[in-house]
Amino acid sequence: MGKLFILVTALIQLCFGYENLGDTDGTWSLLGFTGYAGEIVINNLTGSSLFYWLFQATQGNITSDKLPIILWLQGGQGCSGSTGMVFENIGPFGINNNTQPAINPYTWISNYHVIMVDFPIGAGYSIANSPSDMKNTTMASVAYLYNFLVKLSIKYPTWFNRDVYIFGESYSGHFIPGIAYTILMNNKSPNAQKVFSLKGIAIGDPWIEAYTQTQYYAEYAYSSGLIDLEEKGIIESYQQEIIVALNASDYNKANNADLYLEYELFAKYSGNADPFNVRYFYDNYNMGQVPAWMNLASTKSMLHAPLNVTWVSCNGTIGNAWTVDIMSSMANYLPYILDNIRVLIWNGQDDFDVTNIGTQALLAKLNWQNIKGFTSARKHIWKVNKEVAGYAISYNNLSFVLTLKAGHLFSHDQPQNAKDLVIRFINNQGFN
C-alpha cells in the first residue's frame, strides 16, 4: 500500500509538474533573531501548502520554555502574514528605503513567540497546486488551517505545549472566530490529535457581519466632517441597497454596492481620503520596499520559501472569489467562543473601511448571555506612558478598545500602543 501511494504521488508530480511535495521548512536567522519558516504540505496528492514564519521570543527558546505563542492571521481575504511582521511592527525588523532590514523596537517577540501563517492557500508564499484546494469560504478554509496546526504540533511537539493566543485584523474577523471555534470543538473530542491551550483571541478592525457593519458608513463620515448632509443621504441609500440585496441573498449585488460606496462615493465626497485611515489621502499604507525585499532570492532562501512564487501583500484573485463569504456573518460563532475564552476586539478611530461605531453596534447585538452586562459596563480611559491611547469597555470575557489616532492597521500607526494592548490582554491586566 505504501509503495502504491509513492508511485501514484510520483505519477501526479510527473504529469502535472507539482513541485515541493514535501515540507520545506527549517531554521532562519537575521540580525540576531531566529526562528523557523517554510512550507507545510496540506494536500499530499497535489503538494498544495501553507507557508509559516515563526519568530522565537528574543529571551526565549521555543523548544524548552513556556512563553505564550501568538498566531497571527492577516486577513485580506488573501493577504500575507508577512505584512504584519515587517510592515506593521509585529516582527523584530522592518525594511528601510534601501531594501535593508532595520530593527523595530516595538516588536511583540520581546515578550512572546509569534507565528504567522500565509492563509488561505494562495496568500503570500502559500502554494495552490490545484484549483480544488482553493476554497472560498471561511469554514472550508479553516478546516485545512486546523489540520496545518495539528501537523505542525506533531512535527514540533513543544511549540504548542503552552498558552496559545490568536491575533489578527480585518478579514480575520471571519478567520479567527472560525479557527477558534474549530479548535475549541476539536479540543472536546476524545479523538483529538492535539488539544491546544487556546486562551484568547484578539481581532483589530474586524469584518464580522456585513448586515450590521455596512450600515454605519454615512453616520461615521458625517460625524467626522468628511461628508455633508446631502452626501450622507446618498451613502445611506447605498447602505439600504446592501440590506435589500442581502435579504434577497444577492451577495454579488450587496458586495458591489459596498465596494462602490467605499471606494467611489467616499473617495469623491471626501477629497480622496484614505478609507483605511481618514487622516491621510489615499494610499497612506504604502509598503515601500517591503515587496522588493520579500521577493529577493536571498530572502526566499532564508525563509525556505519557493523561489518561483512572486510575493504580493494581498492576492486580489482570492478576494474576488470570496463574494458570498464576504457578505456572510461569523457573529453566531462568537457567543460559544466567549463562553470559553477571552475575546478582545479593537477598532481604529480613523478607520472608515470598518468603522468603530459599526463594530460596537455588532457587539451590542450578539446573542451572548452576558451581553447586557457588557453594554452597560463602564468605559475606562486607557493610557500608555501617561498619554491617552484609547477607551476600553470590558465585561466578563469580552473587551472592546477604541484606539486613538489609528486607522485599519493599528500596529503600523501606533506600534507602542499596540504592543501595550497585546501585553495587557495576554496578561489579563485590563485597561483601567
Q: Are residues 218 and 183 in the same domain?
A: no
Give average pLDDT by consecutive 10-residue segment, the chain, 432 residues. 37 38 92 97 92 96 96 92 97 96 97 96 91 88 96 96 97 98 96 94 98 98 96 97 97 96 95 93 83 98 96 86 93 98 98 98 97 97 97 98 97 97 96 82
Query: Residue 255's closest CA among 209, 351, 324?
Result: 324
Who contacts 40 (Cβ-Cβ below 8 Å, separation ≥6)? Answer: 23, 25, 49, 50, 51, 52, 148, 151, 152, 155
Q: Are residues 47 and 123 in the same domain?
A: yes
For residues 75 and 84, give the distance between their C-alpha atoms in angstroms, rounded to a whole number.
10
Stated pTM of the model: 0.93
Question: Pick from 242, 257, 281: which residue ends a domain?
Answer: 281
Query: What is the SS3 string spanning the chain?
Result: CHHHHHHHHHHHHHHHCCCCCCCCCEEEEECCEEEEEEEEECCCCCCCEEEEEEECCCCCCCCCCCCCEEEEECCCCCECCHHHHHCCCCCCEEECCCCCEEECCCCHHHCCEEEEECCCCCCCCCECCCHHHCCCCHHHHHHHHHHHHHHHHHHCCCCCCCEEEEEEECCHHHHHHHHHHHHHHHHCCCCCCCCCEEEEEEEECCCCCHHHHHHHHHHHHHHCCCCCHHHHHHHHHHHHHHHHHHHCCCHHHHHHHHHHHHHHHHHHHHCCEECCEEEEECCCCCCCCHHHHHCCHHHHHHCCCCCCCCCCCECHHHHHCCHHHHCCCCHHHHHHHHCCCEEEEEEECCCCCCCHHHHHHHHHCCCCCCHHHHHCCCCEEEEECCEEEEEEEEECCEEEEEECCCCCCHHHHCHHHHHHHHHHHHCCCCCC
Question: Pick from 255, 281, 307: which residue ends a domain?
Answer: 281
Q: Are residues 172 and 314 in the same domain?
A: yes
Which grid cell sits at 11? 505519477
For residues 187 and 283, give the distance between their C-alpha atoms in angstroms, rounded to a whole number.
42
Length of the chain: 432
Q: Are residues 145 and 239 in the same domain?
A: no
Q: Which residues span the domain enclosing 249?
A: 211-281
Instruction: Let me know if residue 55 belongs to a domain.
Output: yes
Q: Are residues 249 and 172 in the same domain?
A: no
Instruction: Let me know if residue 39 belongs to a domain.
Output: yes
How many independent structural domains does the chain possess? 2
Cell numbers 451577495 correspond to what residue?
251
Note the pLDDT of residue 21.
Answer: 61
Q: Are residues 154 and 215 in the same domain?
A: no
For residues 367 and 364, give the distance between their C-alpha atoms in angstroms, rounded to a whole number.
9
Cβ burial 27-65 (10 Å sphere, 16+ → b, else e)? ebeeeebbbbbbbbbbbebbbbbbbbbbbbbeebebeee
For residues 281 and 246, give the distance between their C-alpha atoms in angstroms, rounded to a whole number.
31
Q: Are residues 229 and 148 in the same domain?
A: no
Asked, as a colleague might, if the bond just before 120 is cis with ω within 30 of 0, I would say: yes
Q: Are residues 39 and 98 in the same domain?
A: yes
Pairing of strands 273-274, 197-204: unpaired
Pairing of strands 380-384, 101-103: unpaired
Angle between helix 138-155 and helix 172-187 axes, rounded to 10 deg: 60
Question: Pick from 254, 281, 308: which residue ends a domain?
Answer: 281
Q: Are residues 169 and 254 in the same domain?
A: no
Note the pLDDT of residue 274.
Answer: 93
Note the pLDDT of residue 6.
Answer: 35
Q: Are residues 134 and 221 in the same domain?
A: no
Note the pLDDT of residue 283.
Answer: 64
Q: Are residues 131 and 89 in the same domain?
A: yes
Q: Are residues 337 and 401 in the same domain?
A: yes
Query: Residue 412's closest CA among 252, 280, 250, 310?
Result: 280
Instruction: Let me know if residue 222 belongs to a domain.
Output: yes
Query: Residue 119's closest CA among 154, 166, 160?
Result: 166
For residues 117 and 52, give the distance between their C-alpha atoms in angstroms, rounded to a whole number.
4
Note the pLDDT of residue 111.
Answer: 92
Instruction: Let me know if residue 235 belongs to a domain.
Output: yes
Instruction: Let me know if residue 260 belongs to a domain.
Output: yes
Instruction: Let me know if residue 13 belongs to a domain.
Output: no
* 329, 335, 337, 343: CA torsion to nearest 10: 90
For residues 106 and 411, give the distance between their C-alpha atoms in angstroms, rounded to a whole number.
9
Instruction: Let me know if residue 355 belongs to a domain.
Output: yes
